[in-house]
């Protein structure tokens, strides 16, 4: 597998996305018979992505004639322009980011589930952490506090709005600030923020360092919360549907294997994180249950609308579900 680091995408990439000046990934020449076809996947470095490495090791993608090339960035919202201008075939990212992008008129569709909440409070792979001696004891206590999220109006903020509301608090009174996930621990330590909304592997790292969990954000928002998706452009979904279906076949096998062999998932984390091996065994993994429905997307869209982060949840859901509706 080809692995490369990726810098954040700035204004120049956005301009290329709008003008279509970059060559599309689908423009690459078809592989010769017997050769593997490269599929370029953009992703953020979280635990869910380990399923891709598991699938490669087990030969699931090769069986479908696919070689994966994964590039990592800080957040899916920043990587969407690169997907549109053809740098990627598919993007793994936050479910909220996709619905928001579609709501803004971008031609994107969901192709597969990327990860979901375990649905178990206290045993989920996303949550809000505070220093051990903090006065904050629950989601409602975050009112009037500064909370770091990796993307404003993104997955963590949307889920936390619902968790705070369910706990009797007012999420509109929270000061959300954008911060990269790896920087949140230091910010907590020096008091720059009051709480950090984060996910594995960072969740386990910070808990191992002594920070305390106050709410399991995804599970508190809804036990059926789909946290991440694989998605592509409408044009790619139409022109290369067969390729995406082959990718999904391999991905489904990877998810099934990951669900039955969690140690195989943990063994792959060193490929894209620098987590202490001593913390890996206790890390909470995503629920790798396969399947994605329009109802899953509607739930995400409705929560985003309730968090004042999406104007037309029904319209965004319908457009984002265009690919899966045809399966």
| CATH code (residue 164) | 3.40.190.10
For the chain, what is the mean pLDDT? Answer: 88
Please say which residue of 199, 221, 243 terminates a domain: 221
State residue 33's pLDDT score: 60
Residues 113 and 256 in one domain: yes
What pTM does this model have? Answer: 0.84
For 186-220, how does the pLDDT look when each residue is reduced to its tens digit (9 = 90+)? 999 999 999 999 988 889 889 989 999 999 999 99
Please say which residue of 188, 221, 254 terminates a domain: 221
pLDDT band at 6 (very low <50, low <70, confident <90, very high): very low
User: For residues 78 and 147, what is the distance between their CA atoms, to the nearest angstrom?
Assistant: 21
User: For residues 252 and 291, what is the distance between their CA atoms, to the nearest angstrom?
Assistant: 8
Say whether pLDDT at 23 is over 80: no
State residue 24's pLDDT score: 44
Domain that holds residue 310: 2-117+225-326
Residues 216 and 230 in one domain: no
Residues 270 and 216 in one domain: no
Residues 205 and 236 in one domain: no
Peptide bond into 201 cis (omega under 30): yes
Which whole number is the average pLDDT over 28-51?
A: 81
Please say which residue of 177, 193, 221 terminates a domain: 221
Residues 98 and 10 in one domain: yes
For 252-279, how does the pLDDT look when each residue is reduced to its tens digit (9 = 90+)? 999 999 999 999 999 998 888 777 777 7
Which whole number is the average pLDDT over 65-75?
A: 90
What is the Cβ-side half-sphere exposure of residue 73, based on CA atoms within 13 angstroms?
Answer: 24
Domain total of the chain: 2
State residue 3's pLDDT score: 29
319 SS3 class: helix
Residues 186 and 170 in one domain: yes
Torsion of CA 251, 315, 116, 135, to 10 degrees: 150
Residues 17 and 108 in one domain: yes
* Nearest residue to 258 (alpha-carbon basis) of 93, 115, 66, 76: 115
pLDDT band at 113 (very low <50, low <70, confident <90, very high): very high
Residues 22 and 58 in one domain: yes
Residues in the chain: 327
**SS in 3 state form for 101-127?**
HHHCCCCEEEEEEEEECCCCCCCCCEE
Residues 250 and 203 in one domain: no
Residues 156 and 232 in one domain: no
Residues 189 and 245 in one domain: no
Residues 214 and 193 in one domain: yes
Helix boundaries (H) for the chain: 11-19, 50-57, 60-63, 76-84, 95-103, 155-166, 184-189, 202-208, 217-221, 234-239, 241-260, 262-267, 277-280, 294-306, 313-320
Q: What does the angle CA 216 – CA 142 – CA 74 come to, to the nearest 5 degrees?
A: 60
Say whether pLDDT at 10 is over 80: no
User: For residues 313 and 101, what is the distance between their CA atoms, to the nearest angstrom?
Assistant: 12
């Amino acid at each position: 597998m080809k692995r490369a680091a990726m810098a954040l995408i700035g204004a120049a990439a956005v301009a290329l996305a709008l003008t279509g000046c970059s060559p599309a990934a689908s423009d690459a020449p078809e592989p010769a018979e017997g050769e593997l076809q490269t599929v370029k996947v953009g992703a953020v470095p979280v635990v869910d992505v380990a399923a891709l490495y598991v699938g490669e090791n087990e030969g699931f993608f090769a069986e479908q004639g696919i070689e994966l090339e994964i590039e990592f960035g800080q957040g899916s919202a920043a990587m969407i322009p690169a997907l549109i201008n053809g740098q990627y075939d598919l993007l793994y990212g936050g479910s909220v980011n996709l619905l928001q992008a579609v709501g803004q008129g971008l031609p994107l569709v969901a192709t597969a589930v990327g990860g979901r909440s375990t649905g178990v409070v206290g045993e989920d792979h996303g949550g809000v952490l505070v220093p051990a001696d903090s006065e904050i004891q629950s989601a409602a206590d975050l009112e009037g506090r500064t909370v770091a999220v990796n993307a404003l109006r993104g997955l963590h903020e949307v889920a936390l709005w619902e968790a705070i509301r369910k706990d009797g608090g007012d999420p509109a009174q929270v000061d959300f600030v954008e911060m990269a996930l790896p920087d949140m621990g230091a910010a907590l330590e020096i008091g720059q923020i009051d709480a950090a909304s984060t996910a594995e592997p960072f969740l386990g790292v910070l808990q191992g360092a002594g920070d305390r969990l106050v709410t399991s954000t995804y599970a508190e928002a809804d036990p059926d919360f789909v946290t991440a998706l694989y998605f592509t452009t409408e044009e790619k979904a139409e022109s290369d549907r067969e390729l995406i279906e082959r990718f999904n076949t391999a991905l489904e096998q990877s998810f099934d294997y990951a669900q039955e062999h969690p140690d195989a998932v943990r063994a792959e984390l060193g490929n894209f994180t620098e987590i202490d091996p001593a913390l890996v065994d206790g890390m909470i993994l995503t629920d790798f249950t396969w399947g994605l429905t329009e109802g899953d997307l509607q739930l995400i869209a409705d929560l985003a609308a309730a968090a004042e982060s999406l104007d037309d949840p029904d319209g965004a859901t319908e457009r984002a579900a265009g690919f899966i509706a045809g399966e």
